[in-house]
Amino acid sequence: MSASEHPLGISFEFFPPNTEVGHEKLMGVRDRLAAINPTFFSVTYGAGGSTRERTFNTVNAVSNGGVCTAPHLSCVGSDRGELREILGEYREKGVKRLVALRGDLPSGMGARSELRYANELVEFVREETGDHFEIAVAAYPECHPQAENHQRDLENFARKMEAGANIAITQYFFNADAYFHFVERARAIGIEQPIIPGIMPITNYTKLARFSESCGADIPRWIRKQLESYGDDSESIQQFGTEVISRMSERLLDGGAPGLHFYTLNQADPCLKVLKNLGITSV
């Protein structure tokens, strides 16, 4: 199995570091992951103030590694003028991809946004820039945590794709059947664009459990119980996590997934270990 067998290949998400040390570490991670020739890197978005500036700086630094870089773009907390300005800057820098998200309102910001939902953001980007950007949007195999039900969530997803999105990247999950079921339902209502599974390597159970609770990603009981049994044994947690994610990723690719998008948490080793198990890299 190799990345070239999958049309959209392998991609990785980074977040903007808070410190100079974190920035230097990320550049090393970027270089190691760039060596396997990924399709693109993505960089998460911070709305307003210094976090937004860090996003711009990180996008510039990551893209200097020679891999196509897709900034996240959020409509919450920004008006049309601000979004138009951001799009202009990215076009000038040669950015060709975006990840368009609704986003969460930053703490302390009470202003309502002109664009409320991701489908409106996609429409706005298309109106402003035509087909300049390849646009990715989010998908939720286990249902968005704020959605009323699965059907409403699927309808919301369809609106984003119909607005002009090229691909979708899913929230991470640990149950391949959830992904396959979601894709089957999306195809049944006419959505034809590629839906790339999001992959979260398991390295720290406490942090993973807390984050999964907030974003609606289910950790199956058998995985939770095994991870809990390791206590503070981080080596065993990582070994087990690599095995679980490798098996799931292999099943996803064998079942027709068009690629894998890794939520790296700015770490290279957990991703590379999975890719080595898949035969996609020998590193």
- pLDDT tens-digit map of 11-41: 999 999 989 999 999 999 999 999 999 999 9
In the predicted structure, residue 109 carries a pLDDT above the cut 60 = no
Per-residue confidence (pLDDT) for residue 249, from 0 to 100: 97
Predicted model pTM: 0.92
> Binning pLDDT at 50, 70 and 90, where does residue 7 land?
very low
Q: Which two tokens stand for residue 76?
A: 């919450």
Active site residue 162: no
DSSP classification of residue 4: G
> Binning pLDDT at 50, 70 and 90, where does residue 102 land?
confident
In the predicted structure, residue 173 carries a pLDDT above the cut 70 = yes
Pair 72, 125: CB distance under 8 Å: no
Q: Which two tokens stand for residue 281?
A: 């890299």
Residue 147 phi, psi (nearest 5) = -75, 145
CA atoms within 13 A on the CB side of 148: 4
Q: Give the residue from 233, 224, 141, 225 showing the smallest Cα distance to 180.
A: 141
In the predicted structure, residue 70 carries a pLDDT above the cut 90 = yes
> Binning pLDDT at 50, 70 and 90, where does residue 106 land?
low
CA atoms within 13 A on the CB side of 87: 25
Bridge partners (DSSP) listed for residue 101: 74
Residue bearing the bigger pLDDT, 55 or 122: 122
Per-residue confidence (pLDDT) for residue 46, from 0 to 100: 61
Q: What is the mean pLDDT of the chain?
A: 90
Which helix (H) or strand (E) segment holds residue 199: the answer is strand 195-199
DSSP classification of residue 5: G
CA atoms within 13 A on the CB side of 196: 29
Residue from 5, 13, 127, 142 carrying the catalytic annotation? 13
CA distance 71 to 49: 17
Residue bearing the bigger pLDDT, 125 or 113: 125
What DSSP line would sit under 76-92, residue for residue? TT--HHHHHHHHHHHHH
Q: What is the pLDDT of residues 119-171, one digit of tens each?
A: 999 999 999 999 999 999 999 999 988 888 899 999 999 999 999 999 999 99
Provide the percentage of residues in the chain whose pLDDT is more than 70: 91
Per-residue confidence (pLDDT) for residue 145, from 0 to 100: 85
Residue bearing the bigger pLDDT, 7 or 33: 33
Q: What is the pLDDT of residues 229-243, one digit of tens each?
A: 999 999 999 999 999
